[in-house]
Amino acid sequence: MRQADDLIGIDRALLHSLMEQVSRFGDTGDGGVDRPALSDNHKAARDWFCGELRARGYTVLIDSIGNIFGRLDLAGPDAPVVMVGSHLDSQPKGGRFDGAYGVMVALAAVETWRREAAERGIVPLCNFVIVDWMNEEGARFQPSLLGSSVYTGSLGRDLALTRTDRDGKTVESELLRTGYMGSDTPPQPCCFLEVHIEGDTALETANKTIAPFVRHWGATKIRIEVTGQQNHTGPTPMEDRHDAVLGAAYIITKVKELADTATGTLYTSVARVDISPNSPNIVPGRAVLFAELRAPEPDMLDWAETELKKAIPELAARAAVEAGIVAVERRPAGRFDDRLVSLAEQAADRLGYPRMRLDTIAGHDAVAVNGLLPAIVVAVPSVNGVIHRCDEYTSPQDLAAGGDVLLEMMRQIDKAGGSLDRSGGAE
């Protein structure tokens, strides 16, 4: 087994410098960034990033949904391609690490590997692509994972281009406006590696540094409409009321109860309720509930959806209202590539970083890509589990640790000529 001190670590100064530079774009002055997809701030960050790639000799490709690919050919033109990266867009008033770190650490890792190969006389067997996926967050344009989903074909490009923001601007018009409507053929890599902040406290609590995500949870998003009857809260006798908010309250309580009574892991929420007319003295005529069920196992989601469906009529009757499911969106649960999980674990062990396995509940571009090619997300700690806020923070040591692991995974995959079955073994 190779020793940790044999291993060249990621160029910490370069990673630090790149993080400093990218965080200027949309800087909110409180530590966070405001860089929604295809906003002026996002365009500025992408322009800078493409400049960095070109200055370092990468070929910049823009595909027809605005994904940016920075290709560096270290091996022959027909050599396998390893793709690394994440996304530069942020939540409105989000944090500086979510996404941008994954792109910066990818560039720093490829640059470090390139120099290491040159210095140590290694002949690389793979080429590398650094990707910036378009609109991962889904904050400005829904759905999220838009660029990576169009890349894999799970979302049609035509549909994606017509998505609109709150002002009615389309993805298409904003791609054209910002100069990111490309026509390049995207690369076909052998795998995709993404490094990301955890966004929860599991690593921090367990005092670990590295966690490959093993499973990505499924999510079932259910919209329930409750219909009552609008009336004055004064003279209308209780027995004549059809109170949509009361019906909503029973359903909200039930959705929580599903999580409490499930025999396995299930997260549930009703986080948005649209009430009409929402006036203090008018019995509400209508309430629309946005419920979410999330679980690592598909069976659990099926069970929860079925239980909720069964319960709704009785809950509605209790409030003398009508209620029904009007929309269901199902994102299936799944597993990342086992070989990449092992590779990440071996890399962490070699480097001496304490590690654990985690699932991801939130979506990531690697989840979308995972359907098409072997993919993985490697997580590093986020202090207090904060994500999507200005106080998102990961220490320089942990940022570097994620880079070291990524670099070692790239090294092993390169050594195996892009084969995941042969990579990662001891020397």
> Of these, 129, 248, 348, 405, which contacts its own copies (CB under 8 A)?
248
Instruction: Work out how close the CB of 400 gets to its own copies at its nearest, in angstroms, rounded to a whole number.
Output: 23
Q: Report the amino acid identity of residue 249.
A: A
> Of these, 189, 199, 212, 424, which contacts its own copies (CB under 8 A)?
199
Q: Which two tokens stand for residue 390?
A: 């200005």
DSSP, res 293: E
| Integer CA distances (angstroms), 380 to 33, 64, 99, 254, 276, in order | 20, 32, 12, 35, 43
> Of these, 74, 252, 316, 377, which contacts its own copies (CB under 8 A)?
252
Q: Which two tokens stand for residue 253?
A: 């309580």
Peptide bond into 277 cis (omega under 30): yes
> Of these, 40, 274, 299, 314, which contacts its own copies (CB under 8 A)?
274
> Of these, 116, 184, 292, 297, which contacts its own copies (CB under 8 A)?
292
> Of these, 269, 342, 373, 383, which contacts its own copies (CB under 8 A)?
269
Candidate ranges 103-111, 114-122, 169-177, 286-294; the one touching its own copies (CB under 8 A): 286-294
Q: Which two tokens stand for residue 170?
A: 């389309």
Candidate ranges 28-36, 52-60, 236-244, 400-408; the one touching its own copies (CB under 8 A): 236-244
Residues 6+ away with beta carbon under 8 Å from 403:
9, 10, 12, 15, 105, 108, 109, 112, 195
* Closest among 82, 102, 89, 81 to 15, alpha carbons compared: 102
**278 part of the interface to its own copies, by CB under 8 A:** yes
Candidate ranges 6-14, 158-166, 169-177, 234-242; the one touching its own copies (CB under 8 A): 234-242
**236 part of the interface to its own copies, by CB under 8 A:** yes
Size of the site for its own copies (CB under 8 A): 52
| Integer CA distances (angstroms), 196 to 7, 82, 406, in order | 22, 17, 11
**CA pair distance 294, 305, nearest whole angstrom:** 10
**105 part of the interface to its own copies, by CB under 8 A:** no
> Of these, 34, 52, 243, 392, which contacts its own copies (CB under 8 A)?
243
**325 part of the interface to its own copies, by CB under 8 A:** no
> Of these, 387, 401, 407, 410, which contacts its own copies (CB under 8 A)?
387
> Of these, 154, 162, 261, 279, which contacts its own copies (CB under 8 A)?
279
Q: Which is nearer to its own copies, 46 or 242 (CB)?
A: 242
- x/- map, 294-323, its own copies, by CB under 8 A: x-----------------------------
Q: Which two tokens stand for residue 420?
A: 């995941």
Peptide bond into 396 cis (omega under 30): no
Q: Which is nearer to its own copies, 227 or 419 (CB)?
A: 227
Q: Report the amino acid identity of residue 128.
A: F
231-240 own/partner pairs: CB under 8 Å, 24+ apart: 231/282, 231/283, 232/281, 232/282, 232/283, 233/280, 233/281, 233/282, 233/283, 234/281, 236/283
**234 part of the interface to its own copies, by CB under 8 A:** yes
- x/- map, 208-227, its own copies, by CB under 8 A: ---------x-x-x------
Residues 6+ away with beta carbon under 8 Å from 325:
222, 223, 224, 308, 309, 312
**106 part of the interface to its own copies, by CB under 8 A:** no
> Of these, 282, 311, 356, 373, which contacts its own copies (CB under 8 A)?
282
Q: At what angle do helices 100-120 and 40-55 cross, to 10 degrees?
A: 0
Residue 426, Cβ density class (10 Å: 0-12 exposed, 13-18 middle, ≥19 buried) = exposed
Instruction: Work out how close the CB of 167 gets to its own copies at its nearest, in angstroms, rounded to a whole number.
Output: 17
Strand partners, 131: 69, 85
**132 part of the interface to its own copies, by CB under 8 A:** no
Q: Report the amino acid identity of residue 107.
A: L
**CA pair distance 409, 350, nearest whole angstrom:** 11
> Of these, 99, 363, 381, 424, which contacts its own copies (CB under 8 A)?
363
Strand partners, 229: 242
Candidate ranges 99-107, 124-132, 246-254, 336-344; the one touching its own copies (CB under 8 A): 246-254
Task: Name the residues that contact its own copies, by CB under 8 A.
Answer: 198-201, 217, 219, 221, 232-238, 240-241, 243, 245-246, 248-250, 252-253, 256, 259, 267-275, 278-284, 290, 292, 294, 360-363, 385, 387-388
